[in-house]
Amino acid sequence: MVSVTDDVSTQTTDRSNWAGNLEYRAVDLLRPTTLEEVREAVTSGGPVRALGSRHCFNDIADTTGTHLSLDRFEPVDASTLVVDTDASGATTVTVSGGARYGDLATALFEHGYAVPNLASLPHISVAGAIATATHGSGVTNQGLGGAVVALEIVTGTGEVLTVRRGDTASTGPSTSTAPSDITAPSDHTVPFDAAVVHLGALGVVTRVTLAVEPTFEVRQDVFVDLPWESFERDVDAVLGAAYSVSVFTRWRDDAMDQVWLKSRVDELESRPGGALALGEDFHGARRSPVPLHPLPGISAESCTEQLGVAGPAHERLAHFRMAFTPSNGDELQSEYLVPRQHAVAAVAAVRALRDRIVPLLQVTEIRTVAADGFWLSPSGAQDAVGIHFTWLQRQDEVEALLPVIEEALAPFDARPHWGKLFTTDQARLAELYPRLAEFRELAARLDPQGVFRNDYLRRVLG
Ligand SMILES: Cc1cc2nc3c(=O)[nH]c(=O)nc-3n(C[C@H](O)[C@H](O)[C@H](O)COP(=O)(O)OP(=O)(O)OC[C@H]3O[C@@H](n4cnc5c(N)ncnc54)[C@H](O)[C@@H]3O)c2cc1C
């Protein structure tokens, strides 16, 4: 197993999160390459936390013990990637929890397949993304966890569990790829809907099986200056206008800044008017003749191709290209999800705070996520709309403002994004997530010694 101390290629940045607002307290970073090494690390006696691509803004991934990175555990390789199709025609792929979506999507494309959706950035790991209910956009698209079909988890006692979609109260035996001396315990019952949005609390997710679909083409059209009245009057038409829609606003008085429409070419072709249905005007917004970055004053070079040029889904569904720094880098983020029927009222409640928000804000993004039924998913119970904030890196001031935003959104039962900054306390989280206590019990059962427990989990689970 490679440890940080004997790996000269390790960058010091591994010791902080991507945004640089958090120095991890971990005393070691291990990079296991086999399941046995993961088990060894987990049972070695100290606190352990799996580390994904470090893109969370809070301390969810932190530990005072050992960080385990799966970046060398079965790296994605198109030549060895196996796409399985079962008797019913369902197609899946199994990858390391440490696989980055961008690498996976590129390899899948070589096989003629695609993941159904991506977040704004392709740089994040699969297990780290589903841990926090990371999502893209689309009224019919669930978060990225919606594509999960099975998870292989090394629990706090070093046991290897496989949890499959459809499991309600019991798990099957360990996967056949596990070494033969590893057997799944018979007394563990792990409902699939509890395990996908896992907060890193249930164990190290070593392998994830994802549903994939034949590759499809997407075109991206960007419009500017959407009148507020259009958003308020036609919210469902605006947010449902394409496979994935993002509305960006800096809360200017006159209009919302940008609307990004990511349209599946096959869907557009079946619409009356085909691609021509996407004209120069979108609910009063104008088509941008040039590619745009969501943040003002930043080159669109780092963004996926726009101007309506069709291309492979994985090169359009994320906002940012794999080879570039996503977003700004010098930033913080928060996001709150509310039931979609409250979209207009919730946005209005935030807009009323614009004078306090704007001085700290780079941009807000509004997106939709379809309900997925997962216990800890902010869009678990209902279709949701996400109101996201990319902040300036002024953490004290941002954290002083968050309770004000949370209070304004409280009537809509706003659920915070698990991987971004929030101040919602445990009592409120327990009200928002009726199964939080059950999840805590499940985590305690799979991790009786509290190997994966960190300050974040103590705070949110209680
Ligand atoms: C520029 C930028 C853009 C973003 N855009 C979006 C977006 O479009 N939509 C959205 O919803 N979010 C977005 N986010 C937030 C981001 O997607 C989430 O924070 C996500 O969880 C990050 O994944 P990661 O691999 O970096 O995980 P990390 O931050 O490394 O870890 C997250 C959690 O997962 C756990 N974990 C990681 N790997 C494993 C494993 N193998 N087994 C068990 N637990 C594990 C960690 O312990 C930790 O608890 C964005 C973040 C940034 C920085």
For the segment 187-233, what is each residue's pLDDT rounded down to a tens digit?
568 999 999 999 999 999 999 999 999 999 999 999 999 999 999 99
Domain membership of residue 445 as a residue range? 427-461
In a domain, 124, yes or no: yes
pLDDT at 245 over 80: yes
pLDDT at 87: 84
Instruction: Provide the domain count of the chain.
Output: 4
- CATH number at 19 reads 3.30.43.10
Question: What is the CA(61)–ligand 1 centre distance, in A?
Answer: 9
In a domain, 114, yes or no: yes
pLDDT at 183 over 70: no
pLDDT at 406: 98
pLDDT tens-digit readout, 54-80: 999 999 999 999 999 999 999 999 999
pLDDT at 171 over 60: no
Mean pLDDT lowest among 73-77, 142-146, 297-301, 385-389: 297-301
pLDDT at 277: 66
pLDDT at 9 over 50: no
Whether residues 191 and 224 share a domain: the answer is no
In a domain, 226, yes or no: yes
Mutate to test the pocket of ligand 1, among 30, 51, 377 (most ligand atoms within 8 A of CB): 51
pLDDT at 302 over 70: yes
Whether residues 259 and 389 share a domain: the answer is yes
- CATH number at 274 reads 3.30.70.2520
Ligand 1 nearest atom to the CA of residue 329, by list position: 1
Whether residues 20 and 139 share a domain: the answer is no
* pLDDT band, residue 37 (cuts 50/70/90): very high
Tokens standing for 350? 């935030």
Whether residues 368 and 234 share a domain: the answer is yes
pLDDT tens-digit readout, 306-345: 999 999 999 999 999 998 878 777 899 999 999 999 999 9
In a domain, 78, yes or no: no
Whether residues 278 and 140 share a domain: the answer is no
Whether residues 267 and 149 share a domain: the answer is no
Ligand 1 nearest atom to the CA of residue 19, by list position: 53
* pLDDT band, residue 1 (cuts 50/70/90): low
- CATH number at 210 reads 3.30.465.10
pLDDT at 7: 36
Whether residues 454 and 353 share a domain: the answer is no
Whether residues 366 and 416 share a domain: the answer is yes
Whether residues 87 and 8 share a domain: the answer is no
| Ligand 1, CB cutoff 6 Å, lining residues | 18, 49-56, 60-61, 70, 97-98, 119-121, 124-125, 127-129, 131-132, 134-135, 199-200, 204-205, 326-327, 333, 417, 419
pLDDT at 14: 75
pLDDT at 186: 41
In a domain, 77, yes or no: no
pLDDT at 86: 87
Mean pLDDT lowest among 88-97, 146-155, 277-286: 277-286
Mean pLDDT lowest among 179-183, 189-193, 241-245, 441-445: 179-183
In a domain, 172, yes or no: yes
* pLDDT band, residue 438 (cuts 50/70/90): very high
pLDDT at 384: 98
Percentage above 90 pLDDT, the chain: 85
Question: What is the CA(417)–ligand 1 centre distance, in A?
Answer: 10
In a domain, 76, yes or no: no
pLDDT at 269: 82
pLDDT at 152 over 80: yes
Whether residues 180 and 232 share a domain: the answer is no
In a domain, 75, yes or no: no
Whether residues 164 and 273 share a domain: the answer is no
Percentage above 70 pLDDT, the chain: 92
pLDDT at 327: 75
- CATH number at 452 reads 1.10.45
pLDDT at 428: 98
pLDDT tens-digit readout, 337-379: 999 999 999 999 999 999 999 999 999 999 999 999 999 999 9
Question: What is the CA(133)–ligand 1 centre distance, in A?
Answer: 9
Whether residues 41 and 128 share a domain: the answer is no
pLDDT tens-digit readout, 81-119: 999 998 888 999 999 999 999 999 999 999 999 999 999
pLDDT at 385: 98
